[in-house]
Amino acid sequence: MTAPGLPSTAQLIRAIVISAGVAAVILVVAVLPAEYGVDPTGIGERIGLRRQRVSSAIDMSTAVDAAAAATVDRSETPFRTDQLIVTLKPGETAEIKATMDAGATYVFGWTAAGGTVDFDMHGARADGGGGEASYWKGEASAGGHGSFRAPFTGQHGWFWQNTTWEPVTITVKTSGFYSRIERIGN
């Protein structure tokens, strides 16, 4: 018994051309109508493969009230959530700031475990002009919670100082629209 011979180059090319043609027909007749809703031949719709856009239950002809629209803060900066933990020795300081665009917001909460701290919530302009602005200060505090809207583009956050004789661990949690949050210095 003899083994069959290998196909010739002409036979291989013919098989490739036929396979590519069959693949192109399947793409146009079945895949495009079923997956993308594109049916250039109309065959996909006749055999029930054409994907239809689902009608929306939202009435797009109704205008959005301007006062209602003003309650939504949209952002080009993606939403993020972070947690940073800093332990301060007696007398030591730390600063954590978020980089934000003007009008961007975040919700925050920070706690001091092991003691209390003095703090200054403040911001510095990105362009360096105008110095720093303080938003909230406190003494002998065990924490702070709230929301913040950046009045200008720059870095906004907290400066803490441990004024006790024991180490204090500060945990900061933020969620909102800022590009990064980090410990400054130290």
> Residue 11: which residues within 8 A CB-CB, separation 6 or more?
none
Of 82, 110, 107, 99, the residue nearest 156 (C-alpha): 99
pLDDT classification of 104: cutoffs 50, 70, 90: very high
Handedness of CA 60, 63, 66, 68 (dihedral sign): negative
Q: Give the pLDDT band (50/70/90) at residue 186.
A: low
Rounded Cα distance, 169 and 158, in Å? 14
Q: How confident is the model at residue 40 (pLDDT cuts 50, 70, 90)?
A: confident
pTM, two decimals, is 0.67
Q: What is the pLDDT of residues 136-157, one digit of tens each?
A: 999 999 999 999 999 999 999 9
Q: Domains in the chain, ordered, with CATH?
A: 9-60 (no CATH), 80-184 (2.60.120.380)
pLDDT number for residue 163 = 95
Residue 34 clears pLDDT 80, i.e. is over it: no
